[in-house]
C-alpha cells in the first residue's frame, strides 16, 4: 500500500506549539503520544474529548429520562429518532465543514445542538406526549456537531504525509472515542440516580456549547478545502467525487461493526434482565470499553509495522473469533469476560478502519468521508437493535448474541475476500 501523500486541502494553521515538527516522510519523524501532542498541542485533545462526550451521554440520557416519565416502550422510539437523526445529519455537517471550514459550521452546530437538547428536556418535563418528542429528538441527532470525525480529519491534515505520525494521531483519537463511550454511559447513570434523570442531557448541552466552541475556534481548525467555492477556486469542489468502491467497502464494514456492537449489547441487556439484574448490564458492557481503550493506547505507543489493510484484516478476524464465546455465556461474569475479550480487538480495528478512510477519501472532502463512516457505525447499531431486540424477546439472549457473531463474521469475510486498492486521489465527477 502506498504512503499517504500530503493533503491537498488549504494550508493548515500553525499548530499551537513551539515544538518542531519533522517534515512529512522524514525517517526521523517521531511517532507515539509525545509526537501527537507536539503536533496539535495539549488543548486540542482535551477540547475534542469533552466536546464529543455528549455523543455518549445523549442516547442513555434520553432513554433514562423518557423511561422515567413514560416507560421503556415509549423511550425506545424517541432514542431511535435521535440515532437516525445523527446518522443522517453527520455527512451533511461533514460536507458543510469541508465546504465552509470547520469554524463557522461547528459554531452553528454546537449552538443549535445545545438549544435543541435543552428544548427536548423542557418538552419532556413539561409533560408533552411521547409522539411530540420524536421531532426534537431527531433534531438533536441532526445537529450533533460530529466532533469525533472532524477531529480525525483535522489530525489527518496536520500529519500530512507522515505515515507513522498519522497512525499515532488517528490511534490516539479513536481511543478517545472508546474512553468517552466508557465514561459517558456510566456518568449518565450516576447523574440520573444522584441528581435528576434529565441531568445527563443538560450536562451534554453545556459541554457541547463550551468545549465544542473551543474545539471550533482552536488554531488547527481548517478553512474551506482547496477547490471549494469559498476558497476561491473556479468550478468549486462539487466536482470532487466522494464515493469510490473502496470507501463503500469501508462504509459496509462500519455498518457491520455497529451491528456487532448492538447485537452484543442487546444480548447483555436481555441476559441481565432474565437474571433479575437489569442494572448490571451497564457495568458488564463497560468491560469492552475498558479493554478497548487499553488496546487503543497500546497501539498509539507501539503502532507496529503492518500496513493498514493487513491490520484491518487480522483485527476483524480476531474480533470474529473473540465474539464466539458469547454464544456459550449464561451468567453476567461470563458475559463480562467475553465482552472484555472482544474489546481487545475493537480499538485496533477502528484505528485501521479510520486510517484507511483517510486514504480512500479525497482530501477536499475528508471531513465528510469521516462522518460517513461514523454514520455507518450508528446505522448498523440501529438496524441490529431492530432485529436483535425481538429475537432476544422470543428466543433469549443467545439469539441477540448470534446477531453480533453473524455481523462480525460477515465483516471478516468481506475484509479477507476484498482487494483494498491503493490510496485514492481527488476524483472529478458526480459527488
Set out the domains of the chain in order of their start, with CATH numbers.
Answer: 41-221 (1.20.1250.20), 242-420 (1.20.1250.20)
Average pLDDT over every residue of 332-350: 93
Average pLDDT over every residue of 171-177: 83
Please report, rounded to a whole number, the percentage of residues in the chain having pLDDT higher than 90.
35
pLDDT bucket at 316, cuts 50 / 70 / 90: very high
> Who has greater pLDDT, 25 or 285?
285
Which stretch, 60-64, 112-116, 189-193, has highest mean pLDDT?
112-116
- The per-residue pLDDT for 225 is 66
- pLDDT tens for each residue of 77-111: 887 788 888 889 989 999 899 899 999 999 999 99
- The per-residue pLDDT for 27 is 40
Residue 226 has pLDDT above 80, yes or no: no
Residue 314 has pLDDT above 80, yes or no: yes
3-state SS string for the chain: CCCCCCCCCCCCCCCCCCCCCCCCCCCCCCCCHHHHHHHHCCHHHHHHHHHHHHHHHHHHHHHHHHHHHHCHHHHHHHHHHHHHHHHHHHHHHHHHHHHHCHHHHHHHHHHHHHHHHHHHHHHHHCCCCHHHHHHHHHHHHHCCCCHHHHHHHHHHHHHCCCHHHHHHHHHHHHHHHHHHHHHHHHHHHHHHHHCCCCHHHHHHHHHHHHHHHHHHHCCCCCCCCCCCHHHCCCCCCCCECCCCHHHHHHHHHHHHHHHHHHHHHHHHHHHHHHCCCHHHHHHHHHHHHHHHHHHHHHHHHCCCCCCHHHHHHHHHHHHHHHHHHHHHCCCHHHHHHHHHHHHHHHHHHHHHHHHHHHHHCCHHHHHHHHHHHHHHHHHHHHHHHHHHHHHHHHHCHHHHHHHHHHHHHHHHHHHHHCCCCCCCCCCECCC
Amino acid at each position: 500500500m502506498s504512503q499517504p501523500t500530503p493533503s491537498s486541502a488549504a494550508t493548515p494553521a500553525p499548530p499551537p506549539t513551539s515544538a518542531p515538527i519533522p517534515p512529512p516522510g522524514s525517517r526521523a519523524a517521531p511517532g507515539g503520544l509525545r509526537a501527537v501532542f507536539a503536533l496539535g498541542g495539549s488543548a486540542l485533545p482535551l477540547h475534542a474529548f469533552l466536546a464529543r462526550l455528549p455523543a455518549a451521554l445523549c442516547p442513555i440520557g434520553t432513554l433514562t429520562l423518557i423511561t422515567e416519565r413514560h416507560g421503556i416502550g415509549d423511550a425506545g422510539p424517541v432514542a431511535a429518532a435521535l440515532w437516525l437523526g445523527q446518522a443522517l445529519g453527520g455527512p451533511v455537517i461533514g460536507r458543510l465543514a469541508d465546504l465552509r471550514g470547520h469554524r463557522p459550521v461547528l459554531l452553528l452546530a454546537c449552538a443549535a445542538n445545545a438549544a435543541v437538547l435543552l428544548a427536548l428536556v423542557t418538552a419532556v418535563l413539561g409533560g408533552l406526549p411521547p409522539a411530540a418528542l420524536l421531532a426534537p429528538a431527531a433534531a438533536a441527532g441532526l445537529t450533533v456537531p460530529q466532533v469525533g470525525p472532524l477531529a480525525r480529519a483535522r489530525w489527518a491534515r496536520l500529519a500530512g504525509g507522515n505515515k507513522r505520525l498519522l497512525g499515532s494521531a488517528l490511534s490516539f483519537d479513536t481511543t478517545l472515542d472508546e474512553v468517552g463511550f466508557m465514561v459517558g454511559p456510566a456518568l449518565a447513570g450516576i447523574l440520573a440516580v444522584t441528581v435528576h434523570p434529565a441531568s445527563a442531557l443538560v450536562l451534554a448541552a453545556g459541554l457541547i456549547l463550551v468545549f465544542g466552541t473551543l474545539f471550533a475556534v482552536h488554531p488547527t481548525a481548517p478553512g474551506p478545502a482547496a477547490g471549494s467555492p469559498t476558497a476561491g477556486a473556479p468550478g468549486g469542489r462539487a466536482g470532487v467525487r466522494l464515493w469510490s468502491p473502496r470507501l463503500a467497502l469501508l462504509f459496509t464494514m462500519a455498518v457491520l461493526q455497529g451491528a456487532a456492537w448492538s447485537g452484543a449489547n442487546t444480548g447483555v441487556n436481555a441476559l441481565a434482565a432474565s437474571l433479575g439484574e437489569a442494572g448490571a448490564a451497564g457495568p458488564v458492557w463497560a468491560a469492552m470499553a475498558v479493554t478497548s481503550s487499553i488496546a487503543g493506547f497500546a497501539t498509539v505507543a507501539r503502532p507496529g509495522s503492518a500496513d493498514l489493510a493487513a491490520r484491518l484484516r487480522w483485527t476483524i478476524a480476531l474480533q470474529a473469533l473473540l465474539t464466539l464465546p458469547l454464544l456459550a455465556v449464561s451468567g453476567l461474569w461470563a458475559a463480562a469476560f467475553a465482552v472484555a475479550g472482544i474489546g481487545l480487538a475493537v480499538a485496533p480495528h477502528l484505528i485501521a478502519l479510520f486510517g484507511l478512510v483517510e486514504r480512500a477519501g479525497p482530501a477536499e472532502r475528508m471531513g465528510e468521508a469521516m462522518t460517513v463512516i461514523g454514520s455507518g457505525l450508528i446505522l448498523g447499531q440501529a438496524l441490529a437493535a431492530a432485529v436483535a431486540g425481538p429475537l432476544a424477546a422470543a428466543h433469549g439472549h443467545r439469539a441477540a448474541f448470534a446477531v453480533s457473531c453473524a455481523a462480525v463474521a460477515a465483516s471478516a469475510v468481506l475484509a479477507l475476500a476484498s482487494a483494498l486498492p491503493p490510496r485514492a486521489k481527488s476524483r472529478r465527477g458526480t459527488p
